[in-house]
Amino acid sequence: MSLWQRCVSSGILQHGRCLRRRVWDQALVSKFTSSPPRRTQSSVAGGAERTLIAVKPDGVQRRHVGQIIQRFEQRGFKLVGLKMLQASDGLLSQHYCQLVQKPFYPNLLHYMTSGPVVAMVWEGQNVVQSSRRMVGPTNPVEAQPGTVRGDFSLHTSRNVVHASDSVEGAQREIQLWFEGKELLNWDCFDHSLTYKEDE
């Protein structure tokens, strides 16, 4: 039985409302402190995926990092890796290996190396597909308001953020940008409020 279900059956919560706030808070604290985060690879279970999200140099320069992180947190995804770095030509040529022959690649490389990038790994069910929808299409002109690109950008060559476009692509990109030890496996204590317990 989940913490949430236990609290409902013991009368602390009713119809999602907290009747005895202090007891609920204590229950959360006790769960959080009595079961330390697990740090095994098997924590990515139950259909959870991981994806690479990177705030590009224009997004960092324009101070959008916090707002972009907030969108993923607010949606319910879990941050398992985060770092700021100056991306090298070598890293980018691997990351954009399918684009290196494109006429726009030199400009893309110049832009992506023009300042720091904030790279993140987010985890959750269907996080790859969901985050692509949250980020919006490559060309911001086609991006809906409410998407990151639709809200913060105007031109393809300055589209603020990267999001992996497939589960396989995400695995490849995460390995490129992060070492295994930089990714943290931890349990969100509100997991049962975000997902149905048996999924």
**Could you say whether residue 108 binds ligand TYD (CB under 6 A)?**
yes
Are the CB atoms for 51 and 170 separated by under 8 Å? Answer: yes
Out of 156, 171, 185, 192, the only residue in the binding site for ligand TYD (CB under 6 A) is: 156
Q: Which residue is nearest to ligand TYD (CB)?
A: 138
Residue 121: is it exposed, middle or buried by C-beta count within 10 angstroms (0-12/13-18/19+)?
A: buried
**Could you say whether residue 165 binds ligand TYD (CB under 6 A)?**
yes
Tell me the closest approach of the beta carbon of residue 79 to ligand TYD, in angstroms: 21
Out of 162, 173, 174, 178, the only residue in the binding site for ligand TYD (CB under 6 A) is: 162
Tell me the closest approach of the beta carbon of residue 4 to ligand TYD, in angstroms: 37
Q: 104: annotated binding-site residue?
A: yes
Q: 107: annotated binding-site residue?
A: no
Tell me the closest approach of the beta carbon of residue 154 to ligand TYD, in angstroms: 13
How many of the other CB atoms lie within 10 Å of CB of 116?
Answer: 16
Is-catalytic flag, 95?
no
Q: Which stretch binds ligand TYD (CB under 6 A): 80-88, 118-126, 157-165, 174-182?
A: 157-165
Tokens standing for residue 124: 């959750």
Out of 2, 138, 166, 175, the only residue in the binding site for ligand TYD (CB under 6 A) is: 138
Binders of ligand TYD among residues 87 to 106 (CB under 6 A) are 99, 104
Comparing CB distances to ligand TYD, the nearer of 59 and 124 is: 59
The set of catalytic residues is 162
Residues annotated within a binding site for ATP: 56, 104, 132, 138, 149, 159
